[in-house]
Structure 1
Amino acid sequence: MDKIIKSIATNGAFRAYVLDCTETVKTAQEKHQTLSSSTVALGRTLIANLILAANQKGESKVTLKIIGNSSFGHIISVADTHGNVKGYIQNPGVDIKKTATGEVLVGPFMGQGHFVVITDYGTGKPYTSTTPLISGEIGEDFAYYLTESEQTPSAVGLNVLLDEEDKVKVAGGFMLQALPGASEEDIKRYEERIQNMPAISRLLASDNHIDALLDAIYGEDDYKRLSEESVRFHCDCSKERFKLALLSLAKDDLIAMKDEDHGAEITCQFCNEHYHFSEKDLEEIINDKAE
């Protein structure tokens, strides 16, 4: 079961979230049939958005848009406060690795662009905040967003490791943030620890990567786990929702779909689920629209 663990240093100086999102990213890869680079980029985005949503309360939803101008195109994700996340990448077929090491490349294929966060608190007035992409690696861009937009000094590590067949082997990450009570000595100590921290890929490859992440973050400092919550890839699309979308179309367009196309096929961008509307379905929608 995938999970996010929230923790805090005993002295109240720092808090950290650590995540295991292996099954979540596996599901995304299966649904979108992504190749290596696209899998890692989409996976990192999903993990980042789960962290953003975990920072919210109530029934909030967070839409994360990684808007790039290179091979990936845009990566879009939506997450809620119940641990549900969905997402897609415009180009699922990017498959580039370093020749010598086999390392999957991401940053160069994100290009320049923006890290856009839209938070919907359910009030009808969503809040949008944007920062530029600084590397395209997503984890660094996320840390920059937290520091610049939310004015919270943060360290972030996100990654997806693939097996020899480029299937998701393990996915996860962490976010570390300084709290208002942190002293200069605390901050210096944690900065040095993060700088000397093993690579996120190495920590995720550990037998128990949740404990490995927590140990690397806190070192000898005492901390306590505040909560452990499950996370998952879940799309809330349905035929009823797409029916409502069809109801918003002009009557002439619906009639053309029925008479000329003899039905309609709609695919959800977020999960690739297909919904078929027969001529009879469209006739009912036309009649509903007339009423």
Structure 2
Amino acid sequence: MNSADQLQRFSFDQTDIRGEITHLNASYRDVLKRHSYPTVIAVELGQLMAATALLSSNLKFAGRLTLQVRLPGNVSLLQAESSDKGELRAIARYDESVDAEQLSFEDGQLVITIEPEKGQKYQGITGIEGGNIAKAMEDYFEQSEQLASRFWLECDGQNAAGFMLQKMPAAETSDVDAWDRLTHLASTIKQQELLELNTDVLLHRLYHEEQIRVYEPKDLKFFCTCSKPRLATALTQLGYDELDTILKEAGKIEVSCEFCQQHYAFDRQQVEELFPQRHPH
């Protein structure tokens, strides 16, 4: 049984094709235990987290990568984030007054955002149909990056996993049939195999006749980037008058992080300190 939360890169000798496998077990369940998501939401969010983990290998610098599924219906947002350190978090927004059976993933947008700690933010947008994250990812790489890519994303509500193959814009390869052959073999993976087999076993089962190179795995974990100073910065966007009104009514300002449910409170003195220009020395 696969247990490690990891991202595993691999490549095929004599070809311009690389791949990745990710397994999210504890990190995915850490997201679920903070929210009571209906199964239909939890499964889709697990697939999005797996996709985010696969893409996080593109972070060659300090920063974070965010995938958002923005939809017009009763499920309005799915969002997953990964840092360059392999720290993951995720959230969903949906109409909680609607029965779980009525929740649906309509056509919308998949938004990919890369935010380096230093440098320019990048954002790419592609269409997503019926919540099909794997297909939207393939479309994005085809249109925006001109890279042939295939994604397989699975989630059973307890564990999530993802598998990716990508054809790099590379030198001439002697193995002209490699892409068709390797993607065909990958498409034979069953959901249970992707979720439960450890990476070595899975790669051997698929590609024991190929020359495959496996790299050092990267560990993944749940981690929320919220903090009291970060939330304080967000509060200042509301402006002093708005915060003053809340303080007069409630005596303090209470905020919960929507990702991890961590609770923060600000009293009058702490709010006053956010606006030093009101108290010139």
TM-score band (shorter)? Answer: 0.7 to 0.9
Instruction: Quote the residue 2:20 is aligned against.
Output: 17
Tell me if 1:198 matches 2:176.
Answer: no
Q: Could you tell me which amino acid in structure 1 is paired with residue 246 of structure 2?
A: M
Matches within 5 A, 1:146-225: 146-162=141-157, 168=158, 170-179=159-168, 180-181=170-171, 182=173, 183-195=175-187, 197-199=188-190, 201-206=191-196, 208-225=197-214
Q: Could you tell me which amino acid in structure 2 is paired with residue 202 of structure 1?
A: Q
Structure 1, unaligned runs of 5 or more: 98-107, 163-167
Instruction: Quote the residue 2:241 is aligned against.
Output: 252
Q: 1:29 aligns with which of 11, 28, 32?
A: 32
Give the stretch that moved more between structures: 242-251 or 221-230: 242-251
Q: Could you tell me which amino acid in structure 1 is paired with residue 31 of structure 2?
A: A
Structure 2, unaligned runs of 5 or more: none
Distance 1:185 1:124, change over 3 A: closer
Tell me if 1:144 matches 2:147.
Answer: no
Q: CA RMSD in A?
A: 2.4
Distance 1:217 1:16, change over 3 A: farther
Residue 290 of structure 1 and its aligned partner are, at CA, apart by 3.1
8 Å contact 1:46–1:85 — kept in the other structure?
yes
Moved over 6 A (4+): none
- Residues 30-66 of structure 1 show CA distances to partners (whole Å, capped at 9, x for unaligned) of 1122121111111111111122221120113212111
Distance 1:232 1:79, change over 3 A: same
Distance 1:12 1:3, change over 3 A: same
Matches within 5 A, 1:121-136: 121-136=116-131
TM-score normalised by L of structure 1: 0.84
TM-score normalised by L of structure 2: 0.87
Tell me if 1:74 matches 2:87.
Answer: no
Q: How many residues align?
A: 272
Q: Could you tell me which amino acid in structure 2 is paired with residue 21 of structure 1?
A: L
8 Å contact 2:64–2:115 — kept in the other structure?
yes
| Percent pairwise identity | 22
Instruction: Quote the residue 1:269 is aligned against.
Output: 258
Q: Could you tell me which amino acid in structure 1 is paired with residue 161 of structure 2?
A: G
8 Å contact 1:62–1:80 — kept in the other structure?
yes
CA distance in 1, matches of 2:30, 2:133: 20
